[in-house]
Amino acid sequence: MKGNVFVIGLGLIGGSVSLAIRNTHHETIITGYDVDSKNLRLAKVLGLIDNEAETIKEGAEAADLIIIGTPVVQAESIISELSQLELKQDVLITDVGSTKKGITSMAGCLVEKGYTFIGGHPMAGSHKSGAIAAKPHLFENAFYLLTPYAGTQTDKVETLKNWLRGTKANFLVVTPELHDHLTGVISHFPHIIASGLVHQARNCHSEDQLVTRLAAGGFRDITRIASSSPEMWRDILLHNKDVILELMKEWIAEMERVKHIVQEEDADEIFAYFDIAKRFRDELPVRSQGAIPAFYDLYIDVPDYPGVISEITGYLAQVNISITNIRILETREEIYAALVVSFQTEGDRKLAMECIRKHTDYETFLT
């Protein structure tokens, strides 16, 4: 497709979408805008965009596709600003925010002027940020939810999919309300639970300093998502408040049920509680990406002797496998390994496992 694309906000998500479009639509001109002028210049140097816009007005009025790549709070004010401009009548406007009902409602000011707004949420991410972290394959095989404004023509949605086909994502079209409910259940609420567990451990830590040492194993892994951006989660909870509050009520009822069967010492019900959870969890897709970014960890049962870590990293370096993190486990309850190595992709993890098995007799595990 030919045309002009305007990307507002060139962080990890906005920058990655820009790269995916560039790699597919070679004749497209991509203009970028970012409140951080240094990040904007970096995006130009890295080839994420062709041109830099000094203002939103400069880039938006010439665009056939406008992508709002900012957090929801900023996106709402940008939508308001766009509604005051003279845009192309057939322009497509989309965003990449984690909540959709509020921003889609806000987009009514665009629809009133005859413009098309289709909310978007690519369900992929990284621990890195900024234009420097952008990758064209970030969304490959991930779910990309689209939430068209009510009454949006189907061909407009298909046009947006065409623009975004370079992401190689799996597109799902849902209502904004369903989007917020689904992401609340499998993304937003789990982050609250993870943070709650960390707060509980922190409170216990004030009484017993051993808590932090014992929490270095499985506890650290199951609460990993609590390390996400506090600013982002503040905004998500405020924008998805109704769904979150309803899920909290359901969670409290669930915990009351568990409390009851424990108080009653109902062995059969306790067993069933964990058995049902185990079977449901074991049936979840292993290879597909979901709402929470996957962690590609490889557990390696290595002996404790000087140089063992450099031995492992040396083997991986020989086959050009990039490592994002490496650590030694002190507490290994139910994890039968001593070393955890993290990778950027499932492919890297698989290659690493094959490499370690080829050069050593150390056991390797996935979780």
Based on the fold, state whether residues 130 and 268 are members of the same structural domain: no
Classified as helix, coil or strand, 301 is: strand
**Total-model pTM:** 0.78
pLDDT band with cut points at 50, 70 and 90 for residue 128: low
Mean pLDDT of 31-44: 94
Check whether 158 has a pLDDT greater than 70.
yes
Domain membership flag for residue 223: yes
**How far is it, in rounded angstroms, from Cα 309 to Cα 237?**
40
H-run or E-run covering 79: helix 72-82
pLDDT band with cut points at 50, 70 and 90 for residue 332: very low
Q: How many domains does the chain have?
A: 3
Higher pLDDT, 218 or 48: 48
Q: State the CATH number of the domain containing residue 300.
A: 3.30.70.260
Based on the fold, state whether residues 101 and 131 are members of the same structural domain: yes
Based on the fold, state whether residues 15 and 73 are members of the same structural domain: yes
- Strands of the sheet containing 51-52, edge to edge, are 51-52, 29-33, 4-8, 65-68, 92-95, 116-122, 143-148, 170-173
| Percent of the chain residues topping a pLDDT of 70 | 91
Based on the fold, state whether residues 239 and 276 are members of the same structural domain: yes
Q: Where are the beta strands (DSSP E) in the chain?
A: 4-8, 29-33, 51-52, 65-68, 92-95, 116-122, 143-148, 170-173, 296-301, 323-328, 339-343, 363-365
pLDDT in tens, 219-249: 777 888 888 888 888 999 999 999 999 999 9
Mean pLDDT of 116-121: 97
pLDDT in tens, 243-260: 999 999 999 999 999 999
Per-residue b or e along 244-264, where b marks 16 or more CB atoms closer than 10 Å to that residue's CB: beebeeeeeeeeeeeeebeee
Domain that holds residue 78: 4-174
Based on the fold, state whether residues 41 and 120 are members of the same structural domain: yes
Mean pLDDT of 117-138: 83
pLDDT band with cut points at 50, 70 and 90 for residue 286: low
Domain membership flag for residue 218: yes
* Domain limit, last residue, from 248, 282, 316: 282
